[in-house]
Amino acid sequence: MQGSPVRMLVLTALLAALVFVVTALVRLPVPASAGGGYLNIGDSIISAGALLLGPLPATFAAACGSGIADVASGAALYVVPTVVIKGLMGLIIGLFAHPRRFLLYTSGVALAEILMVLGYGLFDWFAIAPATAWTLLPFNAAQAVVNFVLALLIYKPVLALSGVIGGGE
């Protein structure tokens, strides 16, 4: 996206806020017996932001919005891995999404979702317990699949939106 640095900063901050709101408010709790936490659709907003704004703004917005959502949702244990994992997701999707080709975007989203599942799995394995990692794996995989499908569904509407807000390369 082209434009002034102030405009890009404002759009990045808006994206971070949107990632936070969707992650923190549109969620499904994971039973405590399965390890706790929550499932969310925030990754689809990260995908949209990466497509709209590019890799660096998406990295920042994904890391900040998702990390703050963890704090606000009582999952502070996950803040550091979330900032790293979600930031990398924004970067990967943003890099693959430009130039705007659907197949590259799809590949970037798939790679980012795989990173998410593996990243949280490794964190759970080493920081909590291997049994917890295995128990949470299906939940993280389900979240990845749902967000992958949503990211593909919003591809064309987000491209149309980029024309309205002055995006494009």
What are the chain's domains? 5-165 (1.10.1760.20)
- Would you state the pLDDT for residue 166? 65
Counting Cβ atoms within 10 Å, is residue 153 exposed (0-12), middle (13-18) or buried (19+)? exposed
- Would you state the pLDDT for residue 169? 46
Give 9-50 as a DSSP string: HHHHHHHHHHHHHHHHHSEEEPPGGGT--EEESHHHHHHHHH
Q: What is the pTM of this model?
A: 0.93
- Would you state the pLDDT for residue 8? 93
- Would you state the pLDDT for residue 1? 52
- Would you state the pLDDT for residue 167? 52
Averaged pLDDT, groups of 10, the chain, 169 residues long? 84 98 92 82 97 96 98 94 98 94 97 98 96 95 97 95 69
